[in-house]
Chain A
Amino acid sequence: EIVMTQSPATLSVSPGERATLSCRASQSVSGNLAWYQHRPGQAPSLLIYDTSTRATGVPARFSGSGSGTVFTLTISSLQSEDFAVYYCQQYNNWPPWTFGQGTKVEVK
């Protein structure tokens, strides 16, 4: 099973600042990596798939990069609605598909 490790566990950022979230896989997942946003009390939503493709309706301030075992989600200028928990997920090697434990982006 591929283990996905996200860092940091919590990221404190001021509105308007840049946020950089990391996701590391225990073995290569090629480019088969997705990111999700989970706001409190809401359903999780897909942000990025195939490492860097934004899902429908996702603002351009969200971008993904990486390959192999190291991936990054960048939020260029944090808006109030971006304070949430973010998860990465690999869908390259199964079973099973696996998620990271999450990074909480909170207001500094």
Chain B
Amino acid sequence: QVQLVQSGSEFQKPGASVKISCKTSGYTFTNNAINWMRQAPGQGPEWMGWINTNTGDPTYAQDFTGHFVFSVDTSVSTAYLQINSLRTDDTAVYYCARDHGDYVFQFFFDYWGQGTQVTVS
């Protein structure tokens, strides 16, 4: 079955960097884009952007340009979110999610990771 398993919680100081992994299984990794969402306490998810797992090309939402970096390693079917120069307002749960479309981009998400808590303090 399709699974997205994210790396564990991170506790970092301001200015540090963190790299979250999203290991996928149960399907062909390059068939579907991976999207990233951020969720602050008590709020709905915010879409951060997506990465084409075939080409490695990332697209960032306007509010997430600058110190967020998406990448993939197709050899291990894993997507990554790196956050550089961490700020206290980066504290949130971060989710990866698979685009529903096979070979096409549909921009709704059928499988999600369990979330990674990032705390910056």
Q: DSSP class of A's interface residues: helix, strand, loop or mixed?
A: loop
Q: Does A45 contact B (CB under 8 A)?
A: yes
Residue contact A46 to B100, C-beta cutoff 8 Å: yes
B90 in contact (CB, < 8 A): no
Question: Does B89 belong to the interface (CB within 8 Å)?
Answer: no
Q: Are B108 and A44 in contact (CB under 8 A)?
A: no
Q: Is the CB of B110 within 8 A of A98?
A: no
B114 touches A91 (CB 8 A): no
Q: How many chain B residues touch A (Cβ–Cβ < 8 Å)?
A: 25
Give the distance in Å from the alpha carbon of A46 to the alpha carbon of B95 in the complex: 14
Collect the chain A residues with CB atoms within 8 Å of residue B45's CB: 44, 87, 89, 99
Question: Does B61 make an interface contact (CB < 8 A)?
Answer: yes
* Distance of B42 from chain A, by nearest CB (Å): 8
Interface residues of B in 16-72 (CB under 8 A from A): 37, 42-47, 49, 61-63
Instruction: Report if B4 contacts A (CB, 8 A).
Output: yes
* Residues B47 and A97 in contact, CB atoms below 8 Å apart: yes
Interface positions of A from 39 to 85, Cβ below 8 Å from B: 42-46, 49, 55-56
For the complex, give the distance between the alpha carbons of A49 and B62 in Å.
25
What CA separation (Å) do A52 and B85 show in the bound complex? 42
- Whether B100 lies near A49 (C-beta < 8 A) is yes
- Which of A34, A56, A95, A102 contacts B44 (CB under 8 A)? A102
User: Which positions in A face B, CB cutoff 8 Å?
Assistant: 4, 6, 34, 36, 42-46, 49, 55-56, 87, 89, 91, 94-102
Residues of B that sit less than 8 Å from A by CB: 4, 37, 42-47, 49, 61-63, 95, 97, 100, 106-115
Q: What are 25 A-B contacts with C-beta separation under 8 Å?
A: A4-B44, A34-B108, A42-B114, A43-B95, A43-B111, A43-B113, A43-B115, A44-B97, A46-B100, A46-B109, A46-B110, A46-B111, A49-B108, A87-B45, A89-B108, A91-B108, A95-B61, A95-B62, A96-B46, A96-B61, A99-B37, A99-B45, A100-B44, A101-B42, A102-B44
Q: Which 10 A-B pairs have the closest CB atoms?
A: A99-B44, A91-B107, A96-B61, A34-B108, A43-B112, A97-B47, A101-B44, A46-B110, A44-B112, A43-B114
